[in-house]
């Protein structure tokens, strides 16, 4: 065994220890995306949890290969898929916060207009 493979196995060990949870969450994301996709309205956002689930499953598979074979490319792919997962979640959070602020401002404006028309 060369030192590069041993290093990759050692570095991938903490992430490989959690690959079962990554696969579980990946499956749950996919299921939570498929169920709303069965409705017409659900198609608008159902792709997001399905995409997140696929990315997590790909990351778990790649870290498993890296741990088993000491494959540097699989290790890098796994980390890149995890990076993509967190970027998607971050962008989703930012969009959600912006939409929440817009709806709150709209609701506040409607309430103030309704109160103004009363008096």
Q: What is the pLDDT of residues 43-89, one digit of tens each?
A: 888 999 999 999 999 999 999 999 999 999 999 999 999 999 999 99
How does pLDDT run across 8-56, given as a tens digit for each residue? 999 999 999 999 999 999 999 999 999 999 988 888 889 999 999 999 9
Task: State the residue for tokens 């074979």.
Answer: 69
For the packed helices 47-69 and 3-17, what is the interaxial angle rounded to 10 degrees? 140
Task: Give 1's pLDDT tier (boundaries 50, 70, 90).
Answer: low
- The pLDDT value recorded for residue 83 is 97
Using the predicted structure, report yes or no on whether residue 119 has a pLDDT greater than 90: no
Q: What is the largest CA-CA distance in the chain?
A: 83
Give the pTM.
0.85
Q: How many helices (H) and strands (E) does the chain have?
A: 4, 0
* CA–CA dist 87, 95 (Å, integer): 12
């Amino acid at each position: 065994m060369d030192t590069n493979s041993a290093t990759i196995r050692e570095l991938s060990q903490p992430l490989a220890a959690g690959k079962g949870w990554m696969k579980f969450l990946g499956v749950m994301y996919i299921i939570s995306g498929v169920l709303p996709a069965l409705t017409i309205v659900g198609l608008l956002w159902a792709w997001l949890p399905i995409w997140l689930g696929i990315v997590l499953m790909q990351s778990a598979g790649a870290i498993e290969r890296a741990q088993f074979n000491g494959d540097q490319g699989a290790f890098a792919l796994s980390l890149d898929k995890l990076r993509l997962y967190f970027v998607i979640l971050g962008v989703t959070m930012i969009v959600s916060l912006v939409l929440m602020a817009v709806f709150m401002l709209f609701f506040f404006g409607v309430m103030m207009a309704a109160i103004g028309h009363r008096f």
